[in-house]
Amino acid sequence: MLDTLTFGFLGGGNMASALIGGLIARGVPAGSIRVVDPFPEAQQRLARDLGVHAAGAPDAAFGASDVLVLAVKPQQFREAAAQLLPHLPAGDGNLVISVAAGIRLQDMQRWLGGRNRVVRAMPNTPALAGMGMTGLAAPAGLSDKDRDIASAVAQAVGKCVWVENDAQIDAVTAISGSGPAYVFYFIEAMQRAATELGLSADQGRELAVETFRGAATLAGQSAEPVSTLRERVTSKGGTTYAALTAMDAGGIADAFVRAMHAAAARGKEMGAEFGKD
């Protein structure tokens, strides 16, 4: 469905490059993709590596793309939207998807002249490896066709889930948006334990990374509750039991849940900060 559409990416950094690579791999012709990035080095890299049309500022052709993806840093968003606005077709001529963390739908709509065809996407860094998890939210009334387009764009770099409203994106941010850092944090801790237990750092890294990959794959393939999978490998009095008892004694699960509440609260605060006049 995407290969007949034209795309305009505002911002040509990591996330834009990952999405463009994913779209091209799914059959979107590079010639249907325009990128705007103020830096000549970024423009040269995008044109050379991905074969897309790259420019330093939006123009009418860019603004008329069927799908516009806003992929600038949140603090650059408002200014980038102001630069784009004069080049947008009147009314709701095209679909605008933002991947900027913390920018609320209502602010995005306001800064883009009151548009209704907007989607807020919250991807995560595994998108750079084609294994992203993206949360999507849209104003009530967005058409099924636009929802399908936004899903297909997110699926070019992994999987996606729709949430009911903009506020729930703060929860998505707390779980999967910031989530890769939690996994890295636990991998680091496993690596540390490995070296304390006499293994090399490289061995510890491989053991930990493959354990996360394997357990996540198993959980993803299984229809059983994750707690059942955990209980199945936790025989009373055994090694896993000893480890999980130590974790419970340390309040790890509760602290981890609190950490995600803190992330969601910070996401909400950031939305209010970025959206303030």
Ligand X SMILES: NC(=O)c1ccc[n+]([C@@H]2O[C@H](COP(=O)([O-])OP(=O)(O)OC[C@H]3O[C@@H](n4cnc5c(N)ncnc54)[C@H](OP(=O)(O)O)[C@@H]3O)[C@@H](O)[C@H]2O)c1
Nearest-approach distance from CB 11 to ligand X, in angstroms: 3
Nearest-approach distance from CB 70 to ligand X, in angstroms: 8
Residues in 155-184 that interact with ligand X by CB under 6 A: 177
Nearest-approach distance from CB 104 to ligand X, in angstroms: 13
Count of residues that interact with ligand X, criterion CB under 6 A: 28
* Cβ proximity to ligand X, 11 vs 158, nearer residue: 11
Instruction: Give the interface segment with ligand X, choosing from 24-32, 120-128, 139-147, 150-158 (CB under 6 A).
Output: 120-128
Residue among 68, 80, 95, 172 that touches ligand X (CB under 6 A): 80
User: Taking CB under 6 A as the rule, which mask of x and - marks residues 58-77 in contact with ligand X?
Assistant: -------------xxxx-x-
For residue 35, state whether it binds ligand X (rule: CB under 6 A). no
Instruction: Give the number of other CB atoms < 10 A from CB of residue 53.
Output: 17
For residue 13, state whether it binds ligand X (rule: CB under 6 A). yes
* Cβ proximity to ligand X, 130 vs 250, nearer residue: 130
For residue 271, state whether it binds ligand X (rule: CB under 6 A). no
